[in-house]
């Protein structure tokens, strides 16, 4: 097993993605899955986009709630590392 490369400026084991940015993207552009695309969760992001299109925009509530939860509880990136503050 190899160790992941060290990212200068960030604590080891933390993502280089910000939970504040992910949360705000989720709140403002959750209809398009922007917060999930930002964190690397492309399958969930595409699903958010499809649900929003199929439900004529009512699926945007998913993105809004998702963004709030990321801001409150934090989240992870696609590699499972916690988002930085």
Q: Cα(69)–Cα(29) distance, rounded to whole angstroms?
A: 15
Residue 11 within a domain: no
Tell me if 6 is assigned to some domain.
Answer: no
pLDDT band, residue 9 (cuts 50/70/90): low
Residue 32: how many other CB atoms lie within 10 Å? 17
85 in a structural domain: no
Q: Is residue 48 domain-resident?
A: yes
Q: How many domains does the chain have?
A: 1
Q: Are 23 and 85 in contact (CB under 8 A)?
A: no
Answer whether residue 1 is part of any domain. no
What digits encode the pLDDT tens for the residues 31-72?
A: 999 999 999 999 999 999 999 999 998 888 999 999 999 999
In terms of residue numbers, what domain contains 56? 19-80
Answer yes or no: is pLDDT of 5 > 70.
no
């Amino acid at each position: 097993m190899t160790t992941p490369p060290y990212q200068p400026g960030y604590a080891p084991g933390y993502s280089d993605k910000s939970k504040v940015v992910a949360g705000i993207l989720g709140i403002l552009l959750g209809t398009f899955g922007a917060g999930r695309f930002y964190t690397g969760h492309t399958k969930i992001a595409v699903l958010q986009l499809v649900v929003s299109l199929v439900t004529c925009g009512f699926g945007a509530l998913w993105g809004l709630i998702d963004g709030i939860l990321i801001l409150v509880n934090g989240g992870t990136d696609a590699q499972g590392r916690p988002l930085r503050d």
